[in-house]
Homo-oligomer: A and B are copies of this chain.
Amino acid sequence: MPIVHVYMWSGVSREAKDKIIKGITKVFEELGIPGHAVEVVILEVPRENWGVGGEQASEKFKEERPP
């Protein structure tokens, strides 16, 4: 406890994943939860599977890049 699921567009770099995992774990450590109890799972989803405002992110956010 806790379990954290992160949904992002596919293509996140290994370094960014490491920062997300370390950063989120630290958020809970600062609340007094031991780090070893924090599990973070990053689920990468292709942009054409992600809709915002009724539009596929592959269209709407063509130019943006995942970290």
Contacts and interface: CB of A to CB of B under 8 A. Distances in A.
Chain A interface mostly: mixed
B67 A31 contact: yes
Interface residues of A, number: 50
Question: How many copies, total?
Answer: 6
Nearest to A33: B67
Interface in A19-67: 19-28, 30-33, 35-45, 48-57, 61, 67
Nearest to A40: B51
Nearest to A52: B39
A13 to B, nearest CB: 10
Interface of A: 1-9, 14, 16-28, 30-33, 35-45, 48-57, 61, 67
